[in-house]
Amino acid sequence: NKQVQLKNYVDGFPKESDMVVSSDATINLELPKNEPGAILTKNLYLSCDPMMRNRMSKKYEGAYMDSFAPGSPLVGVGVSKIIDSTHPDFKKGDYVTGFTNWEEYSVVRDPQFLTKIHHTDVPLSYYTGILGMAGMTAYVGFYEFCAAKKGEYFFVSAASGAIGHLVGQFAKRAGCYVVGSAGSKEKVDLLKNKFGFDEAFNYKEEENLKATLKRYFPDGIDIYFDNVGGKMLDAVLPNMRLHGRIASCGMISQYNKLDQTDGVYNLQHVIFNRLKILGFTFYDYLHLYPKFYDMIFPLIREGKIEYLEDTAEGIENGPAALVGLFLGKNIGKQVVAVAHD
Ligand code: NDP
């Protein structure tokens, strides 16, 4: 049973060598019948998420999830097939999604963090992204907070990533003028030509982000969906319009910092422009899943939303895929396919 384990707590930028792919753990592919309430899963798809990096550090003040333990497998959102069960609510052959160890097979003794997948007419891997955390985060941030109106000016960073490319399409559907930033020409081309953004730019090629944003938004930004924080957030603030909104979703530019060197200096514009900034996490809104599914399933089934996955094949490629998030290697949702069924 191959596992991706954390080797040691990480300081600074994560490396593949901070993890180890071990095949020492043995597993019996049948559950003992005298152990009620357990399930045995074959893990199919694992989600790579930036917040997993936070759990690779020793728990720090303010951290909202426990750290991974060195020598133990990483844990993230996954999709699995049940191959044995002594639990009354789950049966062999069911598919489940939820917190999953980064390993090929798992014995789950208390499956409270797993939910049964009811719709299998879409690719199962979608439950790691558009039908899982990324989709819900995009939905909650956009529909619960942004209050977008037709014709408003909308900007999203890390726009070609899992959340970004969905949020941009939500904003287009709401009638906004949408611009995204991303870290390569290939990503910029996709944003404009596949995901329907009005404009996009490669932030790595821009020397003065404040001036760049002024160029793309001569009349200012109404809504900024922030996935990166840091310098981009600082450049956005003076470009915001009166009564603008900032959905503070993530700050990936800060997660690997040992010291904070690119501070946000322009906060006074929150007052000048009477801005609203909301930091949110999708898991405060889990009750909205049914509403979200009512919206997203028809869009997927009718081909009205583009969804892109970047799939690493094999659990042994998991560490590189996870580290790749911080190098901008992924285009769309980064998934690790452990097995295809
Ligand atoms: P992505 O698929 O967007 O992957 C990360 C991307 O971020 C990379 O591809 C890269 O794209 C960009 N990036 C990496 N390092 C930097 C950097 N130093 N500066 C600027 N951009 C960088 O990930 P997700 O869509 O899953 O997550 C997006 C954000 O949302 C993250 O900040 C994450 O932590 C947050 N999040 C928040 C949740 C919530 O409930 N609030 C839930 C889930 C995620 P590029 O080539 O453009 O640089």
Q: Is the pLDDT assigned to residue 290 strictly greater than 90?
A: yes
Counting ligand 1 atoms within 8 A of each CB, the residue from 227, 288, 326, 333 with the most, and so the one to mutate, is 227
Report which of 197, 259, 260 is spatially closest to residue 231, judged by C-alpha positions: 260
Is residue 285 within 8 A of residue 136, CB to CB? The reply is yes
CA–CA separation, 41 vs 74, rounded Å?
16
The Cα diameter of the chain in Å comes to: 69
In whole angstroms, give the CA distance from residue 151 to residue 280.
Answer: 25
pLDDT digits (tens, 9 = 90+) for 104-157: 999 999 898 999 999 999 999 999 999 999 999 999 999 999 999 999 999 999
- What is the distance, to the nearest Å, from the Cα of residue 252 to the centroid of all Cα atoms in its chain? 11
pLDDT of residue 8: 94
CA distances from 199 to 119, 153, 168, 169, 176 (A): 35, 11, 11, 13, 12
Nearest atom in ligand 1 to 157's CA: 47
Query: Atom 36, ligand 1: which residue's CA is nearest?
Result: 250
CB 326 within 8 A of CB 300: no
pLDDT of 245 above 70: yes
Average pLDDT, the chain: 95
Whether 161 lines ligand 1, by a CB cut-off of 6 Å, is: yes
Q: How confident is the model at residue 170 (pLDDT cuts 50, 70, 90)?
A: very high
Which residue's CA is minimally distant from atom 46 of ligand 1? 183
* Protein residue closest via CA to atom 19 of ligand 1: 253
Would you say the CB of residue 250 lies under 6 angstroms from ligand 1?
A: yes
Q: Which domains does the chain have, with CATH numbers?
A: 3-130+307-337 (3.90.180.10), 134-283 (3.40.50.720)
- Indicate if the pLDDT at residue 257 is higher than 90: no
Q: What is the pLDDT of residue 203?
A: 98
pLDDT in tens, 181-239: 999 999 999 999 999 999 999 999 999 999 999 999 999 999 999 999 999 999 999 99
Distances (CA, A) of 226 to 146, 159, 264, 299, 337: 11, 10, 13, 24, 28
Ligand 1 atom showing the smallest separation from residue 140 Cα:
40
Residue 156 confidence (pLDDT): 98
CA distance 288 to 216: 34
Contact 107, 62 (CB under 8 A): no
Q: What is the pLDDT of residue 258?
A: 77
- Angstrom CA distances, 127 to 81, 134, 148, 184, 313, stand at 13, 9, 26, 27, 17
The DSSP bridge partners found for residue 46 are: 78, 336
CA of 226 to the centre of ligand 1 (A): 9
What is the percent of the chain where pLDDT is above 70?
Answer: 99
Side-chain-facing half-sphere of 250: CA atoms under 13 Å: 25
Pair 137, 286: CB distance under 8 Å: no
Answer yes or no: is the C-beta of 164 below 6 A from any ligand 1 atom: yes
pLDDT grade, residue 24 (50/70/90)?
confident
Specify the pLDDT at position 260. 67
3-state helix, strand, coil in the chain (%, to 5): 35, 25, 40
Nearest to 257 by CA among 64, 53, 70: 53
pLDDT in the model for residue 118? 96
ipTM score of the complex? 0.99
Q: Which amino acid is at 301?
A: R
Report whether residue 140 contacts ligand 1, using a CB cutoff of 6 Å. no
Give the pLDDT of residue 32: 86
Ligand 1 center from residue 120 Cα (angstroms) = 28
Helix (H, G, I), strand (E, B) or coil at 112: helix
The finding on whether 47 has its CB within 6 A of some atom of ligand 1 is no
Confidence (pLDDT) at 59: 74
Cα 112 to averaged position of ligand 1 atoms, centre (Å) = 28
For residue 301, pLDDT over 90 is answered with yes
Q: Is residue 326 pLDDT above 70, yes or no?
A: yes
Structure confidence by residue, pLDDT tens digits, 185-200: 999 999 999 999 999 9
61 alpha carbon – ligand 1 mean position (Å): 22
